Amino acid sequence: MQNPNSNRKYIIAGMVLTLTAIFIIRLFYIQIIDKSYQLSSNNNSRLRVVEYPGRGMMFDRYGKPLVYNEPVYDLLMLPQQVKAFDTLELCRILSIDIVEFRESVRKAREYSRYRQSAVVRQVSMEQFAMLSERLYKYPGFSFQIRSQRKYPQPIAPHLLGYVGEVNVEDLKKDPYYQSGDYIGKSGLEQEYEEYLRGRKGISFMLVDVHNRLQGKFENGRYDTIPEPGRKLTITIDAALQEYGEKLLAHKKGSIVAIEPSTGEILAMISSPAYDPNELVGRIRGQNFERLMNDSLNPLFNRATMSRYSPGSIFKVVQALVALQLGVIDEFYSVDCNKDIIGCHNHPNAHGLREGIQYSCNPYFYNVFRRIILQGKSTNQFKDSQIGLKIWDEMVFTFGLGQILPTDFPGIKPGLVPDGELYDKMHGANRWAFSTIYSNSIGQGEVETVPIQIANLAAIIANRGFYYVPHFIRSIEGIDTIPQKFKDPVHTAIDPKYFDIVADGMQRVVYDPGGTGWKAQVPGVIVCGKTGTVQNSGGKEDHSGFFAFAPKERPRIAIVAYVENSGAGGMYAATITSLMIEKYMNGTITQADKELSILEYQQF
Amino acid sequence: MANPRTNFIARLDWLTIIIFLLMVVFGWMNIFSATQNEGAAGSIFDFSQRYSKQFYYILTAFVIAILTLSIDGKVWSFFSFPIYGLTLLILPITILIGKEINGARAWIFIGTFSLQPAEFVKFATALALAKVLSDYNFQIHKPKNLLTVGAIIGLPILLILLQKDTGTALVFLIFVLVLFREGLSWVVLFVAALAIILFVCTMLVPLPVLLPVISAIALMITWLYQRNLKFFGYGSLILGGLFGLAALASHFLGEEWSIDRMFFIASFIAFLIWLVIIIRKKHNPLLLILFTWIGAVFFIFSVDFVFHDILQPHQQSRINTILGLESDPLGVGYNLNQSKIAIGSGGFFGKGFLQGTQTRFNFVPEQSTDFIFCTVGEEWGFLGSLFVLALFAGLILRIIVLAERQRSTFSRVYGYGLASILIFHFAINIGMTIGLVPVIGIPLPFFSYGGSSLWAFTLMLFVFLRFDTDRYQIVS
Ligand SMILES: [Zn+2]
């Protein structure tokens, strides 16, 4: 039977023959004509050698080194070349556990007999020197130089962050990394990883069958030179940072200081802290575990992650919003009527300045009521909804209730409650001013993190705008910092209202009946405000204080929190005073204040 | 000599069997060479070594071969569809209980023993295809029949893609050769070739250059066909004008359209205008050019979209590397480079059995499975490579000859199915080791390490040999 398409068999057979012919020509080319594939006559192979660049150093705003590198050595093993050796002596020189060492040798053998594996990591300089002399007794072993972080002063662990070995996710995310590489895991080490890490160099060496080096493969055509990590200059004032850490030692708390005219973060302290040198090298693992399990939680960065009620500090925000909306003016006065909301004993507040000075709760209850209930609807539920929406929009412009777009990982947004939240909590049209009035004095649902409060101080210092707080001052080889740190962010409040609030904050520190006299600094006008954070845990309240100084052309905006140190902001105000003096004058004249802080120890 | 009509042994095609034996034995020698250094030397019977495992796989394959020859060929024809259905059913199960290797969830583990069911789906699909095409009422260009054929080939592709085993899924596309042999129009081959050319062009040429060039070619063909410049002139004017309009629209709408998008909009509107003009003026032959052109434009955009928005970065870089757009000796290109160096360093005579350094020192990835040809190239040189090429070409051509002498359509179609799959594996596997096609993970039949592939190909081959011994029977 003749199939109609039978002739097509020739086409298919032709395809097979053509394909075979193409393969033959190609093979003839790469096996016989192109000599570049035929390496030198004695059966050479390539060995891939990785050179690790030094990680970028970090300097403070005055060029003082904060972190640099020191060389460490990884002991490599090529199983194929290893002969019987004195395991005991090797372990003694390197002071490592023999069982652990045998285990890593076994793993290296399992991985490949023809490839090097690191069997002992981060050998110190001295051990390296000692073993190098005897390395001839250990065929198959060699050293590879790497660098590890070293901190000249044990400061700023939370903000600098730490470096660790890449994990599975890191490997998946970025093909640059290979198992065993290091990567910034937190803080600025994580944020600026791509600048700090530099670029690994890779060279291909020719080796013979006995793995002896024969020179570079194809004259280094495929090699890349390691590129050192870039130097980073950050905005921190190392002296101020160190001093703040000293003040907060043995207390739970945090300090954030910002330069208002630029948004540069001068200091960021979280206590309890740890020595960053503890998280480096072979001791890292056990120290990390210890810090993780520490009940005081020293790895936790309070400055960016602790969510507190802002307390009385929030009253300045209420005052500004009310002024802008025109629901009060600077002469607005309220009798201190403690029926609805509690207060301490003080003369009645005449005008807003005294309202802030006395931190009168009924005063700000009424201010907030005027913001929320503007009479835009006759239904009080509707009216509250409208008022809260207007309030929300204004409060947001202070950078609250949102993650500040700064150059630091893991910042919490805090919370500015909105209608949606209350609808969820109570049901739509089932809440009104009477439900939410605690927010008037910074209690209730509103929450902030310390860095936001420092930024709030900067906003008042600047009379109405802020620069996004940031750490970067310059990156080696890059002309400029990101534009987002150079553009001012304006609040919805007219600058003219800020002077009234600043007056009130000055009275807090200087007038009789003010709550912040501890914040005074000789020769400088400080504007500040206390903020007691009620502690639901049944323990003592947290003490908070935020301030800026000097009043005109301010140079520093700052917040300090000391947890469980009681109402009134005594410790926080004192710390603020010392920090301002340290930054402005470089020296401390208030020895008694300093002593009172150093003597106060919580643990 | 024994009479083929009465003697089964004499009816067997011994040429094919000899090629099969040569492949399996030579394959094992290369696996031995590639893997004997992986650990401490052990005996062949030490089951922990790959070469010893492969030894048992080969013994099992012989058993499969003998069993297969003893089964009546009619059984396969009769049970085509159940076999097809059953193997397809196993695929989703594999996705559920299978283990992930190299990103593909294609393996079932029974103890320490692993099986890749997709290998057997090739066999089942060849059977099902043969069954459908041998139906008395089957006519290849009837839409209903084409649909059935499409479903039979498409279903396993879909399921295997779900396992993320792209390489194996691609194999099924080669069944188009079987359809071609059975009378599928040239147009399909033409379109397929055009698609491949356009795909490569889309990768190599930036779209703002490629699209105008394609359009210009279409207009030129119109010109040559019409032998006057009228359509050519109007065509350029319409397309250029619409492109300008799109640019203006983009500007005034305040949207930042890319040049690609403006061109796409202009092309689509131009297509509609021309469609109306051509139909009204009754220049129907021009419709073919018009549709080919707009089809090409759409195809280019979809390739561009799939490449940039759907493919994973590692898949993109594989394609880029093979097209020479990306040079990365440490990543994908590094593997490819190593593979070429291994083969290239073999020279004319090769370095000799067990003397290869590239493959032994783990420089070549997957050296005993997908890259086994590296060992051949390095240790046996150009001569050894020629020998392997000759074995494959010989086997495939022999199968075509056998297929053509079958009396039943079923056997012939099945034979072409087998030949096609071998062609695809041969082309892609060897092509990738010598840097002619992208690195697609499929094994070299009868050579690569692994039981599933060896057994599936053995089964397929010997089922066909059994069909061949039955060729004197009266076709019922
Ligand atoms: Zn009061």
Q: What is the pLDDT of residues A538-569, one digit of tens each?
A: 678 888 999 999 999 999 999 999 998 876 67
Residues B235, B295, single domain; the answer is yes
Pair (B96, B226) in one structural domain: no
Q: Are residues B20 and B132 in the same domain?
A: yes
Interface residues of A toward B, Cβ cutoff 8 Å, are 1, 3-6, 8-9, 11-13, 15-17, 19-20, 22-24, 26-28, 30-32, 34, 36-39, 43-46, 48, 112-115, 175, 202, 209, 222
Is-contact A314 A531, C-beta < 8 A? yes
Q: Which of A27, A80, A115 would best serve as a mutation to test chain B binding (most B beta carbons within 10 A)?
A: A27
Please tell me which residue, B196 or A97, carries the higher pLDDT value.
A97
Confidence band, pLDDT 50/70/90 cuts, at residue B334: low
Partners of residue B314 in chain A, C-beta under 8 Å: 175
Q: Are residues A242 and A182 in the same domain?
A: no
Q: How much is the average pLDDT of B298-319?
A: 74
pLDDT tier, B41 (very low <50, low <70, confident <90, very high otherwise): very low
Measured CA to CA, the distance from residue B390 to residue B400 in angstroms comes to 15
- Determine, yes or no, domain membership for A132: yes
Nearest CB neighbour to B434, from listed A1, A13, A30: A30
Lowest mean pLDDT among A55-69, A206-220, B139-153, B341-355: A206-220
- Which structural domain range is residue B148 located in? 4-190+336-469
List, for residues B229-249, the tens digit of each pLDDT value.
777 777 788 888 888 888 888
Q: How far is CA B431 from CA A15, B144, B166, B398, in A?
A: 14, 36, 17, 22
In which band, very low, low, confident or very high, does the pLDDT at B19 lie, cut at 50, 70 and 90? very high
Residues B292 and B340 in one domain: no
Long-range interactions of A103-106: CB distance < 8 A, separation 24+: A105/A77
Residues B415 and B442 in one domain: yes
Nearest CB partner across the interface for A8, out of B181, B351, B419: B181
**Residue in A144, A143, A138, A145 with CA at minimum distance from that of residue A81:** A138
Contact A9, B415 (CB under 8 A): no
CA distance A139 to chain B (A): 19
Contact B331 A115 (CB under 8 A): no
How confident is the model at residue A134, as a pLDDT? 85
pLDDT at position A43 = 43
Q: In this complex, which of A17, A28, A114 lies closest to B361 when CB atoms are compared?
A: A114
Q: Inter-chain contact B37–A38, Cβ cutoff 8 Å?
A: no
Does residue B327 have a pLDDT over 60? no
* One domain, residues A573 and A461: yes
- In this structure, the answer to whether residues A501 and A579 fall within a common structural domain is yes
Expressed in angstroms and rounded, the spacing between residue A350 Cα and the centre of ligand 1 is: 11
Residue B424, CB-side half-sphere exposure with 13 Å CA sphere? 21
Do residue B9 and residue B152 come from a single domain? Answer: yes
Strand partners, A474: A233
Q: What is residue A357's predicted lDDT score, i.e. its pLDDT?
A: 93
Q: Which residues of B touch A9 (CB under 8 A)?
A: 181, 400, 404
Say whether pLDDT at B466 is over 90: yes
The amino acid at residue A484 is: K
User: What per-residue confidence (pLDDT) applies to B84?
Assistant: 95
Specify whether A181 is located in the same domain as A316.
no
Which two tokens mark B49?
């070594």
Same domain, B301 and B227: yes
B96 vs A308: which has the higher pLDDT: A308
> With contact defined as beta carbons under 8 Å apart, do A192 and A47 qualify?
no
Same domain, A402 and A457: yes
Domain membership of residue A321 (yes or no) is yes
Question: Do B343 and A31 lie within an 8 Å CB cutoff?
Answer: yes
Same domain, A217 and A257: no
Q: What is the CATH number of the domain that holds A214?
A: 3.90.1310.10
The last residue of one of the domains, among A214, A234, A254, is A234
Both A147 and A267 in one domain: the answer is no
Q: Are residues A205 and A252 in the same domain?
A: no
Q: Do A181 and A253 lie in a common domain?
A: no
For B265-282, what is the mean pLDDT? 83
Q: How many structural domains compose chain B?
A: 2
| Residues B257 and B174 placed together within one structural domain of the fold | no
C-alpha span between A317 and A368 (Å, rounded): 10
- What Å distances lie between residue B366 and A473, B20, B317, B362, B440, CA to CA? 49, 23, 19, 9, 12
Distance of CA A314 from the midpoint of ligand 1 (Å): 16
3-class DSSP state of A349: strand
Cβ distance A565 to A251 under 8 Å? yes
**Residue A495's pLDDT is what?**
95
Q: Is residue B47 part of a domain?
A: yes
Mutate to test the interface with B, among A1, A12, A110 (most CBs of B within 10 A): A12
Give the separation between CA B350 and CA B375, rounded to whole angstroms: 10
User: CA-CA distance, A99 to A94, in Å (whole number)?
Assistant: 13
State yes or no: pLDDT of B226 exceeds 70.
yes
**Average confidence (pLDDT) over B443-457:** 92
Instruction: Tell me whether residue B154 is in a domain.
Output: yes
**Cα of A514 to ligand 1 centre, how many Å?**
12
Neighbours of ion ligand 1 (CB under 5 A): A 336, 343, 360
Q: Which of A461, A460, A425, A459 is nearest to A444 (CA)?
A: A425
Q: What is the CA radius of gyration of chain A?
A: 33
Q: What is the pLDDT of residues B373-413, one digit of tens each?
A: 988 998 899 999 999 999 999 999 999 999 999 988 999 99
Look at residue B316 and tell me if it is in a domain: no
- What's the A367 CA to ligand 1 centre distance in angstroms? 13
Chain B closest-CA separation from residue A154 CA (Å): 39
pLDDT digits (tens, 9 = 90+) for A473-507: 999 988 888 899 999 999 999 999 999 999 999 99
The pTM of this model reads 0.59
Q: What is the pLDDT, as a whole number, of residue B161?
A: 79
Counted across chains A and B, CB pairs separated by less than 8 A come out at 107
Q: Taking a C-beta distance cutoff of 8 angstroms, is the pair A258, A579 a contact?
A: no
Domain containing A95 equals 46-234
pLDDT at B401: 94
In angstroms, the CA A486 to CA A467 distance is 7
**CB B383 within 8 Å of CB B350:** yes
Task: Indicate the range of B50-59, B317-326, B465-474 predicted with least confidence.
Answer: B317-326
Residue B98 counted as domain residue: yes
Residue where a domain stops, chosen among B311, B345, B374: B311
Do B45 and B152 belong together in one domain? yes
Cis peptide before A272 (omega within 30 of 0): yes
Q: Give the whole-angstrom CA distance, residue A169 versus residue B68.
A: 48
Per-residue pLDDT band at B102 (split at 50, 70, 90): low
A20 belongs to a structural domain = no
Contact indicator for A372, A348 with CB cutoff of 8 Å: no
Helix A591-599, helix A570-585: angle, nearest 10: 130
B181–A12 C-beta distance less than 8 A: yes
List Cβ neighbours of B455 (8 Å cut-off, separation of 6 or more): B57, B60, B61, B64, B119
Instruction: Determine the pLDDT at residue B374.
Output: 87
**Residue at A7 is within a domain:** no
Give the end of a domain, one of A175, A208, A234: A234
> Residue B180 and residue A12: Cβ atoms within 8 Å?
yes
Helices assigned H by DSSP within B163-258: 166-171, 176-181, 186-204, 207-226, 230-252
Q: Six-digit token pair at A66? A: 């904060």
Looking at the structure, tell me whether residues A333 and A213 fall in a common domain.
no
B29 with B164, same domain: the answer is yes
**Would you say residue B323 lies in a domain?**
no
Together in a domain, A338 and A197: no
- Establish if B368 belongs to a structural domain: yes
Alpha helices in A359-439 (DSSP H): 361-372, 380-396, 419-426, 433-436
Name the stretches of chain A with pLDDT < 70: 1-3, 36-48, 111-115, 206-214, 217-218, 536-538, 567-568
Contact indicator for B237, B228 with CB cutoff of 8 Å: no
Q: φ, ψ for residue B391 (rounded to 5)?
A: -60, -45
- Ligand 1 centroid to A568 CA: how many Å? 14
Residues A163 and A264 in one domain: no
Q: What is the CATH number of the domain that holds A324?
A: 3.40.710.10
Does A8 map to a domain? no
Q: Give strand pairing partners of A148.
A: A70
Residues B21 and B162 grouped into a single domain? yes
> A554 C-alpha to center of ligand 1: Å?
30
- The rounded Å distance from CA A465 to ligand 1 centre is 30
Is B87 within a domain? yes
**In the predicted model, is pLDDT for residue B286 greater than 90?**
no
Whether A511 is covered by a domain: the verdict is: yes
Q: Is the peptide bond before B143 cis (omega within 30 degrees of 0)?
A: no
Whether B272 and B351 map to the same domain: the answer is no
Name the residue facing B177 among A12, A27, A39 (closest C-beta).
A12
Is B201's pLDDT higher than 90? no
Number of domains in chain A: 2
Pick the closest to residue B168 from B240, B222, B94, B224 (CA basis): B94
What's the confidence (pLDDT) of residue B40? 43
> Could you give the C-alpha distances from A424 to A309, A418, A429, A439, in angstroms and in order?
20, 10, 11, 17
User: How far is the centre of ligand 1, averaged over its atoms, from the C-alpha of A343 (Å)?
Assistant: 5
